[in-house]
Structure 1
Amino acid sequence: MKYSSLILFYLFSLNTLFAQKDYYFPERNKVWEIKAPATFKIDENKLQRVLDFALENEYSGSRDLRIAILKGFEREPFHEILGPTKKRGGPAGMILKNGYIIAQWGDTKRVDMTFSVTKSFLSTMAGLAVDHGLIAQTSDKAANYIWDGTFDGEHNGKITWAHLLQQNSDWSGELWGGKDWADRPPREGDLDDWKFRKLNEPGTIMEYNDVRVNVLAYALTHVWRKPLPMVLKENLMDKIGASTTWRWHGYYDAWTEIDGVRMKSVTGGGHSGAGMFISTEDMARFGLLFLNKGKWEDQQLISQDWIKKAIESSKPNVNYGFMWWLNKKGDRHWEGLSEDIYFAAGFGGNYIVIDNENDLVVVTRWLEPSKLGEFMTMLNTALK
């Protein structure tokens, strides 16, 4: 029995050792360590073709993002620029393996808009609110926390935090000059029919809608009782060694008052300007935090429970969780790639991809959106 116990202990210790992820975490303002792809038995020639592909397939929209935004959403009634914009750079990106850089291209320190990648940062603010006990559970009705009329009425009163996070609330109203029904209306049919349509039961139909996302940002600002960029900085970005260059903007007129203090309510994207302005390297740090299940070195910054919830499929859309896109078998599935992949996605080809199976974080900027699946398939081929 004595020797059997020793053998079992040895096997347990060995399994524990191999189960642990040997990740590298870059320090702030220090050179990010690079490792040759061959270190991880990755085909360097095939990987170079992946980089060439990214450089050759730049987003086709204008580099003047004010023009690109107005062109991209021109069919929406009343659409206009309501917040800051910035001219963008060229294609850029990083591929991390176990935290080490194995490939990079373009200017990875340049700060650019990220559009709906911001939504995954916003979702994380809700996760931190749950972790800190400010929100008891995502199934709670938002009206139990926000009593100023934002969630009044028979329909809006049913909306939970989960509905807002999964974009299936069908919240009805107006915020910061944006009307819910005017955001991404159907391409066919009469606009008045859409405006006065019967609202969907919360939780039944997903509709990508920036006005409703901004309602979530507004509600979380009131829950935290401070601007969300401060929450993000204090709880995450400083602790993962992010630079001081990132900014999270709201619309010019998006001011609210809490505890006698006037503060900006930020947006969850750049649909009308604003949102997260950030470098490729800081995006990669955020992705690495999620790859390591919310832990940076020895500090658990986001609970594993939250990350697990954030990447669960919603009932109306198997490919969408709490503002993260999921590579599940559905309309947005990349055939032949792991279903354990999830990603943040933004207008113009901005992505943070988390590949748990291969211990990868992939950040791409200004990649033609229709080319992301092909890009990831080529990368997967290089790994094999």
Structure 2
Amino acid sequence: SIISQSQRTNSNALIIYKDGNIAYENYFNNAVQKIEAMSATKSVVAIGIGILLDKGFIDSLNQPVYTIHPEWKQGNKKFITIRHLLEHTSGLQNVPNAGDEVEIAPDVIQLALCAELDDKPGTRYSYNNKSSNLLAGIIEKTAKLKMDAFLDKYLFKDLGIKNFSWRKDEKGNPYGMAGLQIYPKDFAKIGLLILDNGNWNGKQLISAAWIKEMLKPSPNNQNYGYEWWLTYENMYYSFDDELINAIKNETDETTFQLIAKLKGRYKGMKDLREFAQKIYSPEELKLVGKIMQKVQPSQMKTVNDGEILNYTASGYLGQYLIIVPKSKTVVVRMITSDNFKKIPNNSTMENLRKLVNEL
């Protein structure tokens, strides 16, 4: 069950709301504290963009970014829209691991603005920390408030979220890719707000139209809306030729031939790992493992089937805010890096998105 697994994986908090009421709250003998939401922060940033739109700070999602940052009025960058940033289809050059490039940059807005283009805007989904950071910059440029102050004014105050903090770069820009440090119970309020179509205690904080738009599957990745993950009844990861060929540049011919054996469909990374353990010798597994560490689930194509069961904000180490409309359930599971280090197998509870559907 969710509860036993949360306990087993050293969670700092598990909060479950049913029908708007708290059904379960456990901190597993840990202090009640603010915890970094990691990449689940991105989903909160998307709500911020919705508020910008609702309040008329931006005209539409099809507004080119150069209308806000004129230095992009050149080459293919002039075609990048706010929608592209939300869908991760901007085409901006990107390193998936934020620690390698973004975390060390003194000014993440400038880093994003100066990035090369790897793809033509709007053509390909590629999970991108730079584009999420630029969304924070767009909020600031258009609303004349730093993003954390903007969200405090237009969202958190009404939700009764009084105590939160936000990690920033040296220049003082709040990160859009991560950085929100929040109490788990406060994080759940964001889920409750979405479950109630943007309404909080009778006050419409975000338009219902935005909630619907934000949670729609994107054309280039049916698994993703605007910074929210979508969980379908049946989901498979596809380890296809495109991914195998992308790995080719990272490795030698022997390892490449081994990796090519993984071509197929998998129910999740666990399924893929189990298959790899069956077909490889321990030595081969070591070789393949080194390369596979670089493969993120977000790089694998997903094949979806059936209805959308839940919407998820998810972050590094296993931070989750999950909304299950059918059963009117909101689940938050959070963990600190200290607690994560104590887990023997470093489980990020990636099956949580399936488990919540049983509640």
Fold shared per TM-score above 0.5? yes
**For the Cα contact (< 8 Å) 1:109–1:281, is it kept in 2?**
no
Instruction: Find the counterpart in structure 2 of residue 152 from structure 1.
Output: 73
One of 357, 361, 371 as aligned partner of 2:330: 361
Return the offset for 1:370. 5.0
Distance (Å, rounded) in 2 between the aligned partners of 1:376 and 1:172: 30
Instruction: Find the counterpart in structure 2 of residue 109 from structure 1.
Output: 32
Instruction: Find the counterpart in structure 2 of residue 203 from structure 1.
Output: 122
Return the offset for 1:92. 1.0
Confirm whether residue 52 of structure 1 aligns to residue 4 of structure 2. yes
Return the offset for 1:378. 3.9
Confirm whether residue 311 of structure 1 aligns to residue 215 of structure 2. yes
Give 3-state SS (helix, strand or coil) of 1:155's partner: helix
Instruction: Find the counterpart in structure 1 of residue 58 from structure 2.
Output: 135
One of 298, 304, 321 as aligned partner of 2:225: 321
Give 3-state SS (helix, strand or coil) of 2:131's partner: helix
| Aligned-residue identity in percent | 25
5+ long unaligned stretches in structure 1 = 1-48, 59-89, 184-194, 255-263
Deviations 1:200-250 (A, max 9, x none): 1111111112122212211221011111111111111111112x2211221
Return the offset for 1:52. 1.3
**TM-score when normalising by structure 1:** 0.64
Instruction: Find the counterpart in structure 2 of residue 348 from structure 1.
Output: 317
TM-aligned CA distance change 1:337 to 1:93, over 3 Å: farther
Give 3-state SS (helix, strand or coil) of 2:84's partner: helix
Distance (Å, rounded) in 2 between the aligned partners of 1:372 and 1:105: 20
One of 190, 213, 216 as aligned partner of 2:132: 213
Return the offset for 1:379. 4.2
**For the Cα contact (< 8 Å) 1:94–1:108, is it kept in 2?**
no
**For the Cα contact (< 8 Å) 2:324–2:356, is it kept in 1?**
no
One of 153, 157, 164 as aligned partner of 1:238: 157
Runs of 4+ in 1 over 2 A off after TM superposition: 171-180, 328-338, 366-373, 375-381
Amino acid at match of 1:51: I
Distance (Å, rounded) in 1 between the aligned partners of 2:223 and 2:347: 16
Instruction: Find the counterpart in structure 2 of residue 125 from structure 1.
Output: 48
TM-aligned CA distance change 1:379 to 1:352, over 3 Å: closer
Return the offset for 1:100. 0.9
Give 3-state SS (helix, strand or coil) of 1:165's partner: helix
Return the offset for 1:172. 5.0
Confirm whether residue 283 of structure 1 aligns to residue 187 of structure 2. yes
Moved more, 309-318 or 171-180: 171-180
Confirm whether residue 223 of structure 1 aligns to residue 192 of structure 2. no
Distance (Å, rounded) in 2 between the aligned partners of 1:321 and 1:377: 18
**For the Cα contact (< 8 Å) 1:247–1:278, is it kept in 2?**
yes
Instruction: Find the counterpart in structure 2 of residue 250 from structure 1.
Output: 168
Distance (Å, rounded) in 2 between the aligned partners of 1:380 and 1:336: 16
TM-aligned CA distance change 1:378 to 1:200, over 3 Å: closer
TM-aligned CA distance change 1:157 to 1:327, over 3 Å: same
Deviations 1:254-273 (A, max 9, x none): 2xxxxxxxxx3210234xxx
Distance (Å, rounded) in 1 between the aligned partners of 2:19 and 2:13: 20
TM-aligned CA distance change 1:129 to 1:331, over 3 Å: farther
Aligned pairs for 1:24-63 (under 5 A) are 49-58=1-10
Distance (Å, rounded) in 2 between the aligned partners of 1:318 and 1:330: 11
Confirm whether residue 169 of structure 1 aligns to residue 90 of structure 2. yes
> Greater Rg, structure 1 or structure 2?
1
Distance (Å, rounded) in 2 between the aligned partners of 1:304 and 1:53: 34
**For the Cα contact (< 8 Å) 2:15–2:185, is it kept in 1?**
yes
5+ long unaligned stretches in structure 2 = 95-100, 238-266, 269-303, 341-345
Distance (Å, rounded) in 1 between the aligned partners of 2:118 and 2:175: 24
Amino acid at match of 2:144: R
Distance (Å, rounded) in 2 between the aligned partners of 1:129 and 1:154: 27
Instruction: Find the counterpart in structure 2 of residue 292 from structure 1.
Output: 196
Distance (Å, rounded) in 2 between the aligned partners of 1:158 and 1:101: 45
**Once superposed, what is the RMSD of the aligned Cα atoms?**
2.9
Confirm whether residue 96 of structure 1 aligns to residue 17 of structure 2. yes
Which structure has greater helix proportion?
2
TM-aligned CA distance change 1:347 to 1:360, over 3 Å: same
Distance (Å, rounded) in 1 between the aligned partners of 2:323 and 2:221: 19
Deviations 1:169-214 (A, max 9, x none): 013599845799x99xxxxxxxxxxx98x73111111111212221
Distance (Å, rounded) in 2 between the aligned partners of 1:98 and 1:55: 24
Distance (Å, rounded) in 2 between the aligned partners of 1:109 and 1:140: 42
TM-aligned CA distance change 1:164 to 1:377, over 3 Å: closer
Deviations 1:264-298 (A, max 9, x none): 3210234xxxx101110110111111110000011
**For the Cα contact (< 8 Å) 1:221–1:265, is it kept in 2?**
no
Amino acid at match of 2:13: A
Deviations 1:55-78 (A, max 9, x none): 1024xxxxxxxxxxxxxxxxxxxx
**For the Cα contact (< 8 Å) 2:86–2:227, is it kept in 1?**
yes
TM-aligned CA distance change 1:55 to 1:309, over 3 Å: same
Instruction: Find the counterpart in structure 2 of residue 257 from structure 1.
Output: none
